[in-house]
């Protein structure tokens, strides 16, 4: 969130999806009434440090960071907000004053604070008192999110061995102060919204989100027989495939399998961010993979596909569209298709906050593949196309993609090494080895082939020289 964007929101005033609150020296007492109302209605934006008349008052600079952390902690406290929903805050300076911006997405479940359920209207937040109002809200929520479907006869014994413990361990490592870390498994399921009671029907049990996140392959197949993910490599054999994995396991394990497939077939370009080396490949494809797993509409039988071509990666998944057409950073309002599944992935560090995934792909693929022509198209089938690097080989011919050298007589590993050298002129053997995770002995063999075929040459002294594409 930038200062200019925040000014624009403030200039338009409060409404159904915008709320201003004074918070000079502390959090307003009714903050979570608005959070709860936004979660239950259609989401919204809260700005702390602005009054109802759009005057920018600001938040005390001495405590602004403390208040931002307190909001995140309270949103994860089931005594304050139930079920919990982790909120991200942004401190933004406007007119030399500090403001706190909170984006609240629409939630998949009914939330309450102080044991009261709130809804939102253009006039503000209001309590739902009657049974009819509450029942209508539950019906509205159930119709919006298929992940909320309850399976009364789904039990912990139907979960893949060790997957829940593994997920909780990852969250504990990634977020050591997370309130979930102190909960029993039963409390964790309820707090995370994976076990719920339908107040309209009386049904109680684990939800589809729990089944998809933790279930055994045979259990998922029994409940959702059309669920599958196809990952294909199509470089030489365009009619069929060069490599394939067929995935029917739970989403936690599916994420790992898809990342392994990416690591197997796409190289990692050497890149330093500040003084730290980061994996561009991981930055890009963790977002792509998380997106196709988190936002798929699982009641739709259209299968998810992840296909690596010579010059691009193309993904398709079933979708319940909120927008239609191409999505670019800044031209759409993020909307969680399966918020409970998304929340688990976010707490594990496998996805970013809502709306930042596409921005990260555009940012890092500009470096990875020298292009910003990424294509995200939302329709009944959500399609993603990520261009890959196109380069010229030693004979001047055009080879497409990161494995393009396959058609020029090089194998996959040799082509990956060639790409790394092309993108990092003067790179040393040890740096190539570190970048691509290839042992020095194997790397020496690949480089000898590239040198003997006049693809690359070594320049400079033995101590300071490096490799260059001819």
Residue 275 pLDDT grade (very low, low, confident, very high; cuts 50, 70, 90): confident
Interatomic CA distance for residues 190 and 429, integer angstroms: 52
Determine what percent of the chain is predicted with pLDDT higher than 70: 92
Same domain, yes or no: 246 and 351: yes
Same domain, yes or no: 452 and 351: no
| Higher-scoring residue by pLDDT: 320, 459 | 459
- Mean pLDDT over all residues of the chain? 87
Give the pLDDT score at 212.
98
Distance (Å) of CA 454 to CA 66, 140, 224, 329, 451: 60, 66, 54, 42, 5
Same domain, yes or no: 375 and 266: yes
Q: Is the pLDDT of residue 200 over 80?
A: no
Give the pLDDT score at 114.
92
Give the pLDDT score at 408.
44
Give the pLDDT score at 394.
34
Q: Considering 109, 124, 144, which residue would you say is the last residue of a domain?
A: 144
Residue 135 pLDDT grade (very low, low, confident, very high; cuts 50, 70, 90): confident
Q: Considering 129, 144, 159, which residue would you say is the last residue of a domain?
A: 144
Give the pLDDT score at 261.
94
Same domain, yes or no: 371 and 404: no
CATH of the domain at 305: 3.30.565.60
| Higher-scoring residue by pLDDT: 404, 468 | 468
Same domain, yes or no: 35 and 102: yes
Same domain, yes or no: 34 and 138: yes
pLDDT digits (tens, 9 = 90+) for 1-27: 788 989 999 999 999 899 999 999 999
Give the pLDDT score at 143.
65
Indicate the pTM of the whole model: 0.61
Is 187 part of any domain?
no
Burial 276-310 (b: 16+ CB within 10 A, else e): eeebbbebbbbbbbbbbbbbbbbeeeeebbbbbbb
Q: Any idea which of 36-45, 170-179, 263-272, 311-320 has the lowest mean pLDDT?
A: 263-272
Average of pLDDT values for 79-102?
A: 90
Give the pLDDT score at 285.
94
Give the pLDDT score at 396.
36
CATH of the domain at 415: 1.10.10.10
Average of pLDDT values for 94-106?
A: 92
Same domain, yes or no: 137 and 268: no
Q: Which of 410, 415, 462 is nearest to 438 (CA)?
A: 415
Q: Any idea which of 1-10, 286-295, 390-399 has the lowest mean pLDDT?
A: 390-399
Same domain, yes or no: 434 and 379: no
Interatomic CA distance for residues 359 and 287, integer angstroms: 10
Please say whether the beta carbons of 253 and 261 come within 8 A: no
Average of pLDDT values for 95-122?
A: 90
Same domain, yes or no: 98 and 66: yes
Give the pLDDT score at 427.
92
Same domain, yes or no: 384 and 237: yes
Average of pLDDT values for 386-391?
A: 73
Q: Is 20 exposed, middle or buried (0-12, 13-18, 19+ CB in 10 A)?
A: buried
Q: Considering 144, 161, 184, which residue would you say is the last residue of a domain?
A: 144
Give the pLDDT score at 399.
38
Give the pLDDT score at 440.
86
CATH of the domain at 33: 3.30.950.30
Give the pLDDT score at 140.
75
pLDDT digits (tens, 9 = 90+) for 222-243: 999 999 999 999 988 888 889 9
Average of pLDDT values for 381-387?
A: 93
Please say whether the beta carbons of 267 and 402 come within 8 A: yes
pLDDT digits (tens, 9 = 90+) for 332-368: 666 678 989 999 999 998 887 655 778 889 889 888 8
The number of folded domains in the chain is 3
Determine the structural domain holding residue 424 and report its residue range.
Answer: 394-469
Interatomic CA distance for residues 246 and 258, integer angstroms: 10
């Amino acid at each position: 969130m930038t200062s200019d964007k925040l000014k624009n929101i403030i200039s338009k005033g409060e409404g159904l999806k915008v709320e201003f609150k004074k918070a000079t020296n502390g959090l307003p007492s009714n903050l979570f009434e608005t959070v709860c109302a936004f979660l239950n209605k259609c989401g919204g934006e809260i700005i702390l440090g602005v009054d109802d008349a759009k005057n920018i008052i600001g938040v005390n600079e001495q405590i602004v960071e403390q208040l931002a952390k307190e909001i995140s902690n309270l949103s994860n406290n089931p005594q304050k907000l139930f079920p919990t929903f982790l909120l991200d805050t942004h401190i933004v300076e406007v007119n030399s004053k500090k403001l706190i911006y909170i984006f609240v997405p629409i939630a998949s479940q009914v939330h309450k604070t102080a044991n009261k359920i709130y809804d939102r209207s253009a006039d503000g937040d209001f309590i739902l008192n009657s049974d009819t109002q509450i029942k209508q809200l539950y019906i509205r929520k159930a119709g919006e999110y298929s992940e909320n479907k309850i399976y009364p006869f789904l039990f912990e014994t139907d979960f893949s061995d060790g997957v829940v413990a593994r997920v909780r361990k990852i969250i504990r490592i990634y977020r050591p102060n997370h309130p979930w870390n102190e909960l029993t498994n039963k409390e964790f399921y309820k707090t995370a919204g994976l076990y719920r009671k339908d107040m309209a029907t009386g049904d109680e049990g684990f939800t589809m989100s729990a089944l998809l996140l933790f279930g055994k392959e045979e259990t998922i197949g029994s409940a959702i027989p059309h669920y599958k993910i196809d990952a294909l490599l199509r470089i030489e054999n365009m009619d069929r495939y060069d490599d394939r994995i067929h995935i029917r396991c739970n989403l936690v394990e599916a994420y790992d399998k898809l990342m392994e497939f990416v690591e197997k077939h796409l190289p990692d370009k050497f890149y330093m961010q500040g003084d730290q080396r980061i994996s561009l490949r991981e930055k890009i494809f963790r977002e792509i993979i998380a997106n196709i797993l988190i936002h798929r509409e699982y009641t739709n039988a259209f299968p998810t596909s992840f296909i690596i071509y010579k010059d691009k990666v193309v993904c398709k998944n079933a979708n319940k569209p909120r927008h239609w057409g191409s999505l670019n950073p800044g031209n759409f309002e993020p909307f969680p298709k399966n918020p409970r599944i998304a929340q688990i992935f976010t707490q594990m560090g496998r996805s970013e906050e809502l709306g930042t995934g596409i921005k990260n792909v555009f940012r890092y693929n500009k470096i990875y593949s020298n292009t910003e022509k990424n294509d995200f198209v939302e329709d009944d089938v959500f399609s993603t196309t990520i261009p890959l690097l196109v380069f010229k080989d030693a004979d001047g011919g055009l080879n497409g993609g990161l494995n393009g050298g396959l058609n020029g007589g090089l194998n996959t590993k040799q082509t990956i090494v060639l790409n790394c050298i092309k993108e990092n002129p003067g790179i040393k053997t040890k740096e190539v080895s570190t970048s691509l995770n290839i042992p020095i002995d194997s790397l020496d063999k690949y480089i000898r082939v590239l040198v003997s075929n006049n693809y690359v040459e070594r320049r400079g002294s033995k101590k300071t020289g490096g490799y260059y594409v001819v």
